[in-house]
Structure 1
Amino acid sequence: MFLKTKLSASLVLAFGGAIAPSAFAQQALERVEITGSSIRRVDAEGALPVTVLQRADIEKTGATSVTDLLQKMPGLQGGTTESTSVGGDGKGFAGASIHNLTENRTLVLLNGRRLANYGGQSLTGNLAGFDLNSLPLAAIERVEVLTDGASALYGADAIAGVVNFITRRNMSTGDLSLGASRPKGAVAREERFSLSKGIGDLETDGFNLMASFAVDRRSPMNGTDRSFSKTGVIDFENGGKRYQAFLGSVRGAPANATDDAGDLVNPHYFRTGACASSNIKVTDPGTNKTSCYYDFASKLETYSERKRHSFFTTATVKVAPDHTVFADVLLSRNTSSGKLAAVPVEIGIAAGSALHDEYLAPMGITGDSVAYWRAADLGGRTDENISDFGNVVIGANGLLAGWDYKGAITHSESRFKQNISGYPGGLALNRLRDSGTINPFLEVGQQDAAGVAALSAVAYKGLWDAGDSKLTSADLSGSRELFQLAGGPLSLGTGASFYQEQFAGKPSLFAQGKLADPVAGTLCTPGLQYPDPGACDQRAGDAAAIVPYSAKRNAYGLFLELNAPLVKSFELNGAVRYDHYDDFGSTTNGKTSFRWTPVQGLLFRGSVGTGFKAPTVPQVKATAQPYGVTSAAYESTAALEAIATSLGAQTRPGEVQYDQTAGGNANLKPEKSRQATIGIVFEPVPSVSLGADLWHVAVRDVIGQVSEGSAFADPAKYASSWAVQRDNATGIDYIAFKADNQNLGKLYSTGIDFNVQGRTSTPLGRLTTQLLATYMLREKKQQAAGGEYFSAVGQYDPSLTTVTFRWQGRATASLKTGNWTNTLQANFKSGYKDAVAEVQIVNADGTLSGEYEDVQLKIKRYVTFDFQSQFQATKNFSITAGLLNVFDRDPPLSLANGGLGKGQMFGYDDRYYDARGRTLYVNGNFTF
């Protein structure tokens, strides 16, 4: 027996166009289902490719948060992950990126409406998306992912597509859920609690009120908790030869120092013939001079400690038979606390000083020197990221004068705050050096009690940076049937929207470089120089003078859409949208799509459209300022030295991260795109559905930054990407990388999304299977307008510093037997060529040869299996237990060092693989 149903109005409005649930909406979105089945059928398919995950589907994935859920979806890759917040620039953020087209081209909606971007977004456009941590999974009824971008309804700026979260509504029951996750080794443990309850029925009582509260927490996980991440020293074999790779810091403990030639040497090694604990001997093959690099990777956290709290409530009232008003409120807080190795600093050592005479003069050093020190006696650094999110919607929908209408006013706000500890001021360290209180050439633990106390006294603890992102919007849309065509009614949808976007960067006085004594909070006097006590101090090892700023943008849009079922088997849709930005003028974009079912069980569909995306407000209006350090460490080269000399600066010795600067660019042009899809869905039998959609996106005037990898590889080619940054502790002018916003040229991306589903009866029960996969055909991007193209498909590209997986997918098989449902899931990523790394050859006897070689690993395909068993014990109680990564596969060895969105972990790529290993989880659910 077949039962006709219709998809929700939100799917129509968010993905099908402006058409509300009129007679057309029901006709266009009707689907045929076997009773009790949610198998995708041709009759359910529209002209645009949409993947829908219902609540039952979400539970089968084993995802414990919205963030985990989207990271399991094959069509999404390239989004920021939480693990990159440790030592990276993630700030606790997690984002969604469709087809690796970045988070700021992927629009995230809640019930079909926009949300404020992250309050911790940077002035380069990094993290300029919605933070998924702000949404409680307990309140989500389903997720709808549209992988075709720039719709007339929701905006031409969603070039990559849309992720729409639909919350639970009209719920009159209660739902209590408890859960826990336990990775091996008692690390990264999670506990979860959620409670939802609704009262009233909209149809019978005329109202409904639902509220949901959720809280979860996770304990930290250290790099040393896993063999593949416990150190920056990695021994491996490749091609029948043995090698050793090493990632360390020139800022050692005890300190390295520059000699009269500007090369690094290590006084402790000179005295003892060995490097101290947690330091690795590095001999420069060109000069034969030895220094000791600090193994900072052994001090990192893989996952930070995290707590999330959320509250969602919705109230709906039927004020008349055809009119409903509603109000939604979402409040959430996400707190993560990541720990890093002790602060890396540079301290000037004057010729003739006590430290110079005792440690450097015996080595033949006669002039001034710079000590590159890891202040390990101070303890590790901590970054605490606190993100508060609020979203309020008041709206109405109904039927008026033959028009289905809906409208709402929304205010959304994301507030970010970062507290730090373990960071002293550079000038404060200089004063301790001058007083003889500290000695950077001592081993860790050898500082006397006065030295340790003095270090602790100058370590800043408190607010470092903050940001506030706001979005206030209003929207109104309506639809109606106009007249009958051969295949059904010609339907019209139209509407208007307005939004104001605001952003304010609110760095602390310390971050602004306005304090003479950061710990005491004493204001400084600009222009004074050290050793004057009123001189302005900055953070040691990571100097900054962040400039506060605020900016806003107003935009409004108008759209019109027609849906024409020309005949029963062929439907044509056309849409046009006009947008006006108060800072970028006006733009008109359109989309045309079709849906053709020549015979029963066979569907063809396609679309062609254009898009328009303005830069983020900070990308245009932020003040030029220091912007942290490069993600990777680089050696000084002759080409880099030439650029530095021309700017009156110098390069840094050894292999080290360089300072960055960045700022807004008022001359940026908006991105403009063209996108197209062509797809087929075939049902050879009613229980099997085979689907494939070929998609293509082309973007010109791509907004971004020249990658640091490209600039350091060819400094002269990117001569405009360099600036000068003075180290306030040493007074030395060093060359710095300028990560300024530019229009880089063009981007092309093409791939195929596959969706195969089936259902059958077996002697053991009902078996449901699904395969979701994405195959990347092409992805290439310019680093400069008119320049060469680079591609990261199937390889780590040194210019893009990312990887795009050729294949990524998930296969699921679920067997329902009575009250038991067992689900097995396979997750797979194709292999790729890793970054080229310079590694040392290891002799047959295990000793280091002193000879180096460039090696490029071939990363093998990576497959993990998840298993879940759900038992419906009673009508009201169910328990679910599962294993993630059943066979406990470690991430593959990677020698990539740095990259867009990458944390500091070495030995595996934390952007693409989960370090937790086999993880047991249990969830209990009680309804009442």
Structure 2
Amino acid sequence: MFKRTKVSAAAVLALSGLGIGLGQAQAQVQLDRVEITGSSIKRIDAEGALPVQVFKREDIERTGATNTVDLLQRLPGIQGGTSEGTSVGGGGAGFAGVSIHNVGETRTLVLLNGRRLTQYGGQSLTGSAAAVDLNTIPIAAIDRVEILTDGASALYGSDAVAGVVNFITKKNSQEGDLTVGASIPQDGGAQEYRVSLTKGFGDVDKDGFNFLISASADKRTKLDGVDRDFSKSGVINFHHNGNRYQAFLGSPRAVPANVADNAGDLINPYFEANGSCAPGNVAVVANGKTACYFDFVRQLEIYPERERQNLMLTGAVKLGNHKLHADLVYSKTKNVGRIAPLAADILIEEGTALHTQYLVPLGITGDAFANWRGADLGKRTDINKSTFASAVVGLEGTLAGWDYKTGVFYSENKYKNDIAGYPGGLALRRELNRGVVDPFVQPGQQTQAGLDALNAIKFSGYWDGGDAKLSGVDLSVSKEIFNLPGGAAGFGAGVQAYNEKFAGKPSLFAQGKLADPVTGRECDPAAVFPSPDACDQRAGDEAAIVPYGADRNVVGVFAEMVLPVTKTLELTAGVRYDDYEKVGNTTNGKLSFRWNAAQGLLLRGSLGTGFKAPTVPQLNASPQPFGVTSAPYSCTTNPDLATVAAQLGVQCRPGNVQYDVIAGGNASLQPEKSEQGTLGIRFEPSTNLSFGADLWHVQVEDAIGQIAEEEAFAKPLVYNTWTSKRDNSTGITFLALNQGNVNLGKEFFTGIDFDIVGRTATPLGRLTTQLLATYMIREDRQLIPDGEYFSAIGNNSPSLGFVSFRWQGRLSALLETGNWKHSAAVNFKSGYKDAELDVELLGPGDTLTGQFATVQRNIGRYFTFDWQSQWNINKWLSVTGGILNVFDRDPPLSLSTSGLNKGQMFGYDDRYYDPRGRTFYANVSLKF
């Protein structure tokens, strides 16, 4: 299915799939020279010194992937990219990225037809999502995907530390294709419907021109967490080491609300009056007092609703030995993530009606905090809208014996985030003080006046956004310049110059400049509550977001040479100079070799260096509120956290709750510097069997990132990651986590990519099988310079907040018989140690015992099986049907509550496993 090759299908056939025995193949057939990802020199070699995986159109279709996001997530060498599930309370903003070998999506360079694209307009100031959004790449227009798994390309940029993913669109095609399809999970939810149309006109070689249009659209419905057993509740009973336990992930911000008594302990007035918690809440006892925690997991939509439309236009005109071409890509994506209603800490002031009615009978004096869930406001909703446009005008051909390619390129990604279900914090405080809104009643039991008040202050509309732009020019040339014993030496050189620009565009409400967010009335910065002119902010996670904008120019110059020293040994040397405005300049090189050691045996390797500059927001964004922590934390159970709060002169938040996060740019950030190398073997004992393995290594100095929240809260006195934030609703300054950009230290990554391909004729037809796998040998990261190393291989490390799978693989088989093609695939991931969690021991009948333990479960190996059949009825019409996850394997139980790029889901880890279950799909294609 996956061919490690570097040329067109014609070259693959001519060279028996691997290109061993090149001289004989060249003597038998004349091959066109083509440019391959990883080199600027046009060549006819089928297998080069650098490891490149090619995923062709037919391979894409056989995976059952309906978009580039799903496609790349099926590759064993891809780990650590942002998934769509992150949009469910994880701040993903609708973005989906790709990371090679878990080295990082910001270190993985994504190209379209060999050229850079702008980063995501919704990227965060910490660098999250500072990469190309895969939703913008139209899969219907893709002819093949080339993945260079060796980093720091001299051709494309020294910032490609992890490698390069190059999407190649259809060119010079006259084919017409109309495809309609649907994907339907067996258990409901996440239903997808799609249509695409592609048509080409003219042949560049025969007619002197070609024009191609490709348009596609798809729509997917939401998937509610309650529709799957593994995600339906924050209460999970499970077995571990012979005992029965209960894990619970809930929020003290409940409905009806909890309140802090005079001793600072949480109690629930509804529980005190009724002897039980209201539906949707779970009783939690601490210090002999009972609070009710809200089961917010039941409210989650674990697979976001999504709509996409893509359009690609490409044209080419032949001008003698030259070709003028233009490409235009336009895409729109809408992603809707919904989570539980507003969670807010509100101040119940002494003397108000609410205080008198509910708190005085409980002996609570003075102002008190109530932890409330605004159920009558409806779910909090993020509507993430992204518009992407890319245009390229280029000229290529041969001039004075030189192959050349030059072009002007521009791309832009505009991001817009609309929200719903949020009131202003001061507006809510006014209604509470008036006694109109009652936080101590169940959902649906507000008075009509209370409902009217909530509806009047509930905001829906534009919240935040961003605009990322990339514009530039490039020129590259190559030529065979002299002869060596092994053949002609090739020389290539080029220059790229581009401008990166980013602007953060928060609304006036997000900036904290409105007195009335609903009407848009601006505030008086000098006014204070209870003045109606005081500046209001969003309730629950107030954030005065600071708008900012910056840009920079980047110039890169490169050169490389291919030296066929002998008939069997070839050396390649490349060097690149980059100058990043306001960051600095750098020179990096790469050396590689390819040695045909014997008939059917190829050895290859490379060494190189890289350089990754901080993003524009990472350098320039002002410090500002950045949401809340993924998990709740408590000063009561963590004395060191209370010590930090006392040192800063601020308060801890009462109870076990989420904390505010502050983040910002850092003008003192140093660029990341890397070294990487590969060593590979290709062995083909016959034309029906081939084997390949590539050992790769990447090491990074001055890695840019943030201290994981779990590590910061576990060791609050170790890391200087603390600050304060004034709560707009209460006027109190609380402890907050500072997750601004810093240089953490060193990182090391080592692994092996394997592939084995076998081909044989059977009585039923030709059978092709392939095993692709990646084995992680080492992954070590420092969180502070010269500090301790942490590894996530086989371990959901709380210090890092994610998992690296020791093994990932895909075993596939394709049977071609007559007009039918049948394919099957097994996808597998190795097991790992889950995050630790405090759980309660259960007694007979699953009764709670009040005894707690800290457990860390072992998550086992995970396998899924896919099937597809394609019937080519005639040369015009084909029907494809398949099943993903044939045996309906649920994701394994995970007790992880937080982590890098994780949504709010509990019971399974949304970053690594698909929640849809057994999914049926079908496509009907009409060729014309």
Whether TM exceeds 0.5 here: the answer is yes
**Could you tell me which residue of structure 2 aligns to residue 18 of structure 1?**
40
**Could you tell me which residue of structure 1 aligns to residue 669 of structure 2?**
668
**Could you tell me which residue of structure 1 aligns to residue 260 of structure 2?**
258
**Could you tell me which residue of structure 2 aligns to residue 588 of structure 1?**
587
**Amino acid aligned to 1:451:** G
**Could you tell me which residue of structure 2 aligns to residue 41 of structure 1?**
none
**Could you tell me which residue of structure 1 aligns to residue 487 of structure 2?**
488
**Could you tell me which residue of structure 1 aligns to residue 862 of structure 2?**
862
**Could you tell me which residue of structure 2 aligns to residue 180 of structure 1?**
182
Q: Is residue 725–residue 736 contact of structure 2 (8 Å, CA) maintained in 1?
A: yes
Mapped pair 1:418 → 2:420: no
TM-score (ref. length: structure 1): 0.96
Q: Is residue 352–residue 435 contact of structure 2 (8 Å, CA) maintained in 1?
A: no
**Amino acid aligned to 2:454:** L
Aligned ranges 1:254-333 → 2 under 5 Å: 254-284=256-286, 287-320=287-320, 322-333=321-332
Structure 2: distance between partners of 1:6 and 1:130: 38
**Could you tell me which residue of structure 1 aligns to residue 373 of structure 2?**
374
Aligned ranges 1:616-765 → 2 under 5 Å: 616-636=615-635, 637-718=638-719, 720-765=720-765
**Could you tell me which residue of structure 2 aligns to residue 874 of structure 1?**
874
Q: Is residue 181–residue 194 contact of structure 2 (8 Å, CA) maintained in 1?
A: yes
Check 1:378–1:166 CA distance in 2 against 1; reply closer, same or farther (3 A cut): same
Structure 2: distance between partners of 1:889 and 1:80: 23
Structure 2: distance between partners of 1:840 and 1:367: 35
Structure 1: distance between partners of 2:436 and 2:572: 76
**Could you tell me which residue of structure 2 aligns to residue 228 of structure 1?**
230
RMSD: 1.1
**Could you tell me which residue of structure 1 aligns to residue 546 of structure 2?**
547
Structure 2: distance between partners of 1:237 and 1:683: 49
Check 1:326–1:641 CA distance in 2 against 1; reply closer, same or farther (3 A cut): same
Shift of 1:426: 0.5
Check 1:823–1:6 CA distance in 2 against 1; reply closer, same or farther (3 A cut): farther
Check 1:79–1:612 CA distance in 2 against 1; reply closer, same or farther (3 A cut): same
Q: Is residue 204–residue 210 contact of structure 2 (8 Å, CA) maintained in 1?
A: yes
User: Between the two proteins, what is the percent identity of the paired residues?
Assistant: 57
Q: Is residue 197–residue 216 contact of structure 2 (8 Å, CA) maintained in 1?
A: yes
**Amino acid aligned to 1:915:** P
**Could you tell me which residue of structure 1 aligns to residue 3 of structure 2?**
none
**Could you tell me which residue of structure 1 aligns to residue 20 of structure 2?**
none
**Could you tell me which residue of structure 2 aligns to residue 53 of structure 1?**
55
Shift of 1:11: 4.4
Check 1:354–1:477 CA distance in 2 against 1; reply closer, same or farther (3 A cut): same
Any idea what SS the aligned residue of 2:204 has?
Answer: coil
What are the superposed Cα offsets for residues 365-393 of structure 1, whole Å, 9 maximum, x if unpaired?
A: 12220111001011111110000000000
Q: Is residue 544–residue 628 contact of structure 1 (8 Å, CA) maintained in 2?
A: yes
**Amino acid aligned to 1:668:** L
Structure 1: distance between partners of 2:816 and 2:654: 63
Structure 2: distance between partners of 1:863 and 1:887: 10
1:241 maps to which of 236, 243, 246: 243
Any idea what SS the aligned residue of 1:655 has?
Answer: coil
Instruction: Give unmatched runs, 5+ long, in structure 2.
Output: 1-12, 16-24
**Could you tell me which residue of structure 1 aligns to residue 775 of structure 2?**
775
Any idea what SS the aligned residue of 1:744 has?
Answer: strand
Structure 1: distance between partners of 2:624 and 2:365: 36
What are the superposed Cα offsets for residues 661-692 of structure 1, whole Å, 9 maximum, x if unpaired?
A: 11110100000000000000111222111000
What are the superposed Cα offsets for residues 96-142 of structure 1, whole Å, 9 maximum, x if unpaired?
A: 00001111000000000000000000000000110000011100000
- Divergent runs of 4+, >3 A: 1-11
Shift of 1:845: 3.0
Shift of 1:873: 0.5
Q: Is residue 35–residue 41 contact of structure 2 (8 Å, CA) maintained in 1?
A: no
Structure 1: distance between partners of 2:511 and 2:586: 38
Q: Is residue 772–residue 811 contact of structure 1 (8 Å, CA) maintained in 2?
A: yes
Any idea what SS the aligned residue of 1:356 has?
Answer: helix
**Could you tell me which residue of structure 2 aligns to residue 121 of structure 1?**
123
Any idea what SS the aligned residue of 2:778 has?
Answer: strand
**Could you tell me which residue of structure 2 aligns to residue 787 of structure 1?**
787
**Stretch of structure 1 that moved more, 565-574 or 704-713:** 704-713
Structure 2: distance between partners of 1:424 and 1:407: 53
Shift of 1:6: 8.5
Structure 2: distance between partners of 1:333 and 1:457: 32
**Amino acid aligned to 1:51:** Q
Structure 1: distance between partners of 2:447 and 2:293: 24
Any idea what SS the aligned residue of 2:356 has?
Answer: helix
What are the superposed Cα offsets for residues 49-98 of structure 1, whole Å, 9 maximum, x if unpaired?
A: 11101101111111010111000001001001111111111111100000
Any idea what SS the aligned residue of 1:80 has?
Answer: coil
**Could you tell me which residue of structure 2 aligns to residue 888 of structure 1?**
888
**Amino acid aligned to 2:241:** G
Q: Is residue 256–residue 371 contact of structure 1 (8 Å, CA) maintained in 2?
A: yes
Q: Is residue 352–residue 434 contact of structure 2 (8 Å, CA) maintained in 1?
A: no
**Amino acid aligned to 2:358:** Y
Mapped pair 1:408 → 2:410: no
Structure 2: distance between partners of 1:767 and 1:410: 43
What are the superposed Cα offsets for residues 479-521 of structure 1, whole Å, 9 maximum, x if unpaired?
A: 1111110000111101101010000000000000000000010
Structure 1: distance between partners of 2:130 and 2:104: 9
Check 1:8–1:717 CA distance in 2 against 1; reply closer, same or farther (3 A cut): farther
Structure 2: distance between partners of 1:375 and 1:64: 38
Shift of 1:351: 2.2
Aligned length: 902
Q: Is residue 275–residue 292 contact of structure 1 (8 Å, CA) maintained in 2?
A: yes
Shift of 1:527: 2.5
Structure 2: distance between partners of 1:773 and 1:363: 62
Structure 2: distance between partners of 1:893 and 1:653: 31
**Could you tell me which residue of structure 1 aligns to residue 477 of structure 2?**
478
Structure 1: distance between partners of 2:459 and 2:336: 16
Q: Is residue 10–residue 111 contact of structure 1 (8 Å, CA) maintained in 2?
A: no
TM-score (ref. length: structure 2): 0.96
**Amino acid aligned to 2:859:** I
Any idea what SS the aligned residue of 1:536 has?
Answer: coil
Shift of 1:10: 6.0
Shift of 1:656: 1.3
Shift of 1:358: 1.6
Any idea what SS the aligned residue of 1:712 has?
Answer: helix
**Amino acid aligned to 1:441:** F
Q: Is residue 10–residue 112 contact of structure 1 (8 Å, CA) maintained in 2?
A: no
**Could you tell me which residue of structure 2 aligns to residue 89 of structure 1?**
91
Structure 1: distance between partners of 2:233 and 2:534: 39
Instruction: Give unmatched runs, 5+ long, in structure 1.
Output: 30-43
Q: Is residue 631–residue 900 contact of structure 1 (8 Å, CA) maintained in 2?
A: no
**Could you tell me which residue of structure 2 aligns to residue 608 of structure 1?**
607
Mapped pair 1:564 → 2:563: yes
Q: Is residue 66–residue 133 contact of structure 1 (8 Å, CA) maintained in 2?
A: yes
Structure 2: distance between partners of 1:397 and 1:77: 36
Structure 2: distance between partners of 1:831 and 1:598: 38
Structure 2: distance between partners of 1:101 and 1:6: 40
